[in-house]
Amino acid sequence: MSRTSGNLDPLLILYKPDGQLLKENDDIATGNLNSEIQITLPVSGRYRIDAKKYKYTPTAGNYRLSVSTVNAENTDSDDGQYLSFIGSALEGKINTNGDRDTYYFNGMGGRSVKIRMDRITQNLDGYLELYGPSGQLITQDDDSGGNSNPLIEHRLPSSGTYRVVARSWEQRSNGRYSIEVRSLRNNYALGVSPLASSLGSDENPSSLATDDDQATSWSSSEAVTQRLQVDLGEIQTLDQATLFWNGEDYATGYGLYYEDENQEWQPLFATESGDGGIDTIAFDSISTNKILLEMWGREELSNRYSISEFELHDTARVIIPLTLPDDGSKPAETGVTPLVPLAPVPDGKELQPLAPTAGQVSFPLSDADAIEHIPTANIPDTYTLPTVTMSISNTIILDNSSVLAAAVDGTDPDNGSDGDGIVEYRWTLASLEISNTGAYLIHIGEEETVSISKDFNLSLGDYLLRLEVQDDEGSWSTPIEKQITVGANIYLPLINR
């Protein structure tokens, strides 16, 4: 990305087909503000390139963006890639014995991580070095992963961007390898189905937010204020929560609260500046059995919230597993002096905030005003789904007849009285015929009754009439269905004999 006019300071960011951040570059070299990325693409697919300006300087102008292939043998394209806690392992290559590949990941202070380098080329004897956000060497390893593979398991001392160097032992071998980073932690919310203020659809229940599966997610209804409450059953000590937002359906304004011994909500964190992705929220250690997440703000183009994972941790109780000792038959390194790798951004520039789809850990800033936000929920609230029954006049529609259906006893249990809190009725009519699988949308609105006749241009056959009601918290009831048949009058002539 090259500037062609103005004072533009270009910035390039490259994402994999699955949306994970792969690599970014601000300045090619000191004094050259243009950006360039050289990389061996890890998988086939459609990649995304973000061409931006450096955020912290007021620059603007025109630019030229180009993509070309290069001879991979003449480049070291492994350097500068980001490792993701939720992504797959990356593959790299020690091109020559003296080659050093630098990777980055965003880590949270107090979190324990596992960094593994596994050789693909059998004669490669790998070696790993871990550097902190300020560039200091934290730890290094040779063979703790077994089979001449290095493995680092370490509790990160502070939050920031860490650097990982992959090389060969004594810089005496070369070849291909895979590298990955994983988080070591206990997730107390795992398998505990949260109580949700709403359910966006039958396919996205709240249990999907705690099933340890990034491919599934809870989705809310369209109401702006939504909540997830996790009841751990017994008192646990916690000091960290992690939110995995699903795509663009993230909260810009949200707060985290816990129940104290007086059954009152106490604030842990709140922000009006949420940016999606993965939010890791650290707080002073607390003892509680209930955690409440309340969301009250979102992007204009989004009409719901979606969370793929909601995790709760006690980082102090994570035990670093014992690793294999280094191979005692190998002498300690003597011919290699660790070299501090370059930071992910040029000297004198601040690190860019990672994009929502980066797959890295982000640390949303707590806003002074938002931290005082009082949750609208009370402890007794159970976020129970509304209920309703259906009455129907008959089950067959002929030429001159109709079916009159009515919603009866619509109830929002959270409001404590029949009918209170029901704000919308949704009626749908779907064909059961194999040859006619389309759904006829009859009515969405605030009417409690609906009349169905052949005026809807219905074909002959069987249909399911479905009723759902929505309460003032945005939750829809479990659907109620009745089968009706659309038939025809048959005229038989009388014959005299």
Residue ranges of domains in the chain: 2-185, 195-319+363-372, 387-486
User: What is the structure's pLDDT at 367?
Assistant: 66
* CB atoms closer than 10 angstroms to residue 407: 22
The runs of H, that is alpha helices, within 249-315 are none
pLDDT, average across residues 233-241: 92
387-486 adopts what CATH topology?
Answer: Immunoglobulin-like (2.60.40)
What is the percent of the chain with per-residue pLDDT over 70, rounded to a whole number? 82
What is the percent of the chain with per-residue pLDDT over 90, rounded to a whole number? 33
Higher pLDDT, 445 or 12: 12
User: What is the structure's pLDDT at 73?
Assistant: 64
pLDDT at residue 419 greater than cutoff 80: no
pLDDT at residue 358 greater than cutoff 50: no
pLDDT at residue 71 greater than cutoff 80: no
> Which CATH code fits 2-185?
2.60.120.380
DSSP state of 337: -
User: What is the structure's pLDDT at 258?
Assistant: 93
> pLDDT band at residue 27, thresholds of 50, 70 and 90?
confident
Handedness of CA 397, 398, 399, 403 (dihedral sign): negative
Report the Cα 8 to chain-centroid distance in Å.
Answer: 33
- Say which CATH architecture domain 195-319+363-372 belongs to: Sandwich (2.60)
Report the predicted TM-score, pTM, of the whole model to 2 decimal places: 0.60
> pLDDT band at residue 319, thresholds of 50, 70 and 90?
low
The runs of H, that is alpha helices, within 5-111 are none
Higher pLDDT, 367 or 37: 37
pLDDT at residue 130 greater than cutoff 50: yes
* CB atoms closer than 10 angstroms to residue 18: 14
Task: Decide if 2-185 and 387-486 have a common fold.
Answer: no
User: What is the structure's pLDDT at 86?
Assistant: 63
Q: Which tens digits make up the pLDDT trace of 171-225?
A: 999 999 999 998 777 889 998 989 888 766 667 788 899 988 877 899 988 888 8
Q: Which tens digits make up the pLDDT trace of 359-407?
A: 455 556 666 655 667 776 665 555 677 889 999 999 999 888 889 999 9
